[in-house]
Chains A and B, each alone.
Chain A
Amino acid sequence: MDFGPHLLLAVLEGAVGAAVLALTALGLSLVFGVMRVVNVAHGEFFMLGAVIAWFVATSIGGHPAVGFVAALALAPLIAGLVAVLVDRLILKPVKYDPEATIVGTIGVLYILQQTALMTYGPEARPVEPPFSHRIALPWFEWGENGFAMFYPWGLSTNSYKLFVIGAAIVILLAFWLIMTRSKAGLIMRATQLDRETALAFGIPVSRVYSIVFGLGAGLAALAAVLIVPIQQAHYLMGHDPLLLSFIVVIIGGLGSIRGTVLAAVLIGMSDGIISVFLSPTLSKIIATLLVALVLVFRPQGLFGKKPA
């Protein structure tokens, strides 16, 4: 394959990664923005979503689409409920002290991960996609007969991958509408801006915190359900999304939701593209160091305005 078609393929792969990353990082960013809590267990809620999707899909049976739709509804719900429980039992009693919440969520990370190991097991298991058609992609080139369109061998994508990108865009838009146009969004933004004043105006801040923590985990789980037909469900799969989400939230500016989405697209796309052309380990080293340096020299992130 020539360079051009190869790049197109890399861009498509990158877009799928970016779509899933945007949803996952949005959850982390929401929790940090509203609650000022760094949820180290965020990746495990992602893993939880994938594992629940596998359990739901295998226990329902029938056409894969039925199991997939059920998982799409159930996995975020269950992950969200677990998160609400974590908020009530651990984060609220330590009064959201930054250090204690980090140590506590590290504990939650291992509890969730190891519980998955004990119940789901160490195997990686696939979930069947609800639909999957090979779509050959055309390529345009100046050939002997002038400008021509043809279908190079190997240049194809999958209808399910396109669905993932579309679904992520729809979810992001819905999230944006909720945050900016609904009363629930108004309450969340008020709590983010000034917790004390929100409390004085009768906003049940502690309930808002629980819901936000659950919503953040639910977004991660939702992203995992979308990706699990492409990747496989595994009990250690939460590690990479966690680090990538950290990176995205930092680059986008801690707590800035618009910045998070922009950064997710940037990082997800470049991750997809770079890993096609460079050694993945080397590109990860460079990316990790760059992000650390961004945090050192520009703590408000690349898109953030005021210091966090």
Chain B
Amino acid sequence: MSIGTRSTFLHLGLIALLFVLAFVLPSYHQGNLARIMVLATYAIGYNVLFGYTGLLSLGHAMFFGAGMYGLGLAMQYGGLGVIPAFAVALICAAALSAVVALLALRTIGVAFMIVTLMFAQAGYLTVLYFGAWTRGDEGFVIAQSARQIAGLDLTAPTTRYLAALLLFSAALLITARMMQVSFGSVLIGVRENEERTRMLGYDVFRHKLAAVIISGTISGAAGAGYAVLFGYVGATFTSVQYSIFPLLWVLLGGAGTTIGPLVGTLFMFYLIDYSSGLTNAYMLIAGVVLVLLTLFARAGLVGEIRKRWVAWLP
């Protein structure tokens, strides 16, 4: 079997497994897994930029937030249905990421991280500033009656799970396909050696620009998905912490692997879920995991598996 066929089987198998789990899992874990899949979509978006293109952003919460507020405000004040509001969310996220990319990509390295952090901070403060509409930190709830697509009730646990699975599968398959075509190879080229890629005649800036927009739009889709499936829109999701989370998930699962984002999100979610039962300082776990990953497993879980045993893992 060629590597391409193997990875297609792996991804379809994973999606099939998640589909079966919808009907097997007890309701508590089914709800968790739905949330994890939406957050893993966010991580997949982050991975496009961080894992494949090698650009470390500390401001992805603004893209997640653009999707979340794009959908939330369009439904709350524009009275739009779920699907048109979702389209609005995608447009918001894509537009924001294009603007941020055009500015931030003029910088490299440490400056890129700080610029994205600053833009995200400005985004977070903007949400607070327009508190009259966004309700600031308190956030607002999207009415249960509005969260329907053609009679399908997205608040029903199994429907919600399947909708999350649909979102996750779309992001997974799109990025997996992207990395099989030459566009993806150029992104990896940029990550490994930007100068050499430029010398080979590729337009590095354009590829980076496209990577930020794709990454931002997928993150925005995750934000919109989170808002519509769980019915809550709040400023916390645009704070620094939510820019750090996808970095943590991707690093834990394995940067530059297709299934790493899901693995990382899954582990971290349950780690925090269990530890928040023990202490209110559950972010301590996140800190310890970040330090341990930095020291001992820079490639992350899936990355280490690929390095040691299964070299073909996509």
Contacts and interface: CB of A to CB of B under 8 A. Distances in A.
Given A108-B291, A281-B128, A295 B111 contact: yes
Nearest to B291: A107
A174 interface: no
Contact of B290 (A104, A288, A308): A104
Interface in B103-135: 103-104, 106-107, 109-111, 113-115, 117-119, 121-122, 125-126, 128-129
A102 B122 contact: no
B104 A118 contact: no
B293 A103 contact: yes
- Give the interface size class of chain A: 35 or more
A297 B109 CA distance: 15
27 contacts: A93-B295, A98-B109, A98-B110, A99-B56, A100-B294, A103-B247, A103-B294, A106-B244, A106-B247, A107-B287, A108-B287, A110-B286, A111-B291, A114-B283, A115-B284, A117-B280, A281-B125, A281-B128, A281-B129, A288-B119, A288-B125, A292-B115, A295-B118, A296-B106, A296-B107, A296-B115, A299-B107
Contact of A111 (B104, B113, B284, B295): B284
Given A99-B56, A115-B281, A292 B294 contact: no
Interface in A153-179: none
Contact of A285 (B109, B126, B294, B298): B126
Contacts of B294: 90, 94, 100, 103-104, 107
Contacts of A289: 118-119, 122
B129 A285 contact: yes
A185 B119 CA distance: 36
Contacts of B281: 114-115, 117-118
Contacts of A254: 110-111
B131 to A, nearest CB: 9
Contact of B287 (A111, A246, A291): A111
Contacts of A104: 290-291, 294-295
Contacts of B295: 90, 93-94, 104
Nearest to A94: B294
- A-side interface mostly: helix
Given A93-B295, A285-B122, A295-B111, A118 B279 contact: yes
Given A115-B284, A288-B118, A289-B122, A103 B290 contact: yes
Interface of B: 56, 103-104, 106-107, 109-111, 113-115, 117-119, 121-122, 125-126, 128-129, 240, 244, 247, 251, 279-284, 286-291, 293-295, 298
A284 interface: yes
- B-side interface mostly: helix
A205 to B, nearest CB: 20
Please list the 6 inter-chain residue pairs (A to B) with the smallest Cβ-Cβ separation, ordered nearest first: A110-B287, A107-B290, A114-B284, A107-B291, A292-B118, A111-B287
A250 interface: yes
A107 B295 CA distance: 11
Contacts of B128: 281
Interface in A263-308: 279, 281-282, 284-285, 288-289, 291-293, 295-297, 299, 308
B114 to A, nearest CB: 6
Nearest to A93: B295
A246 B56 CA distance: 17
A103 B251 contact: yes
A282 B129 contact: yes
Interface in A121-179: none
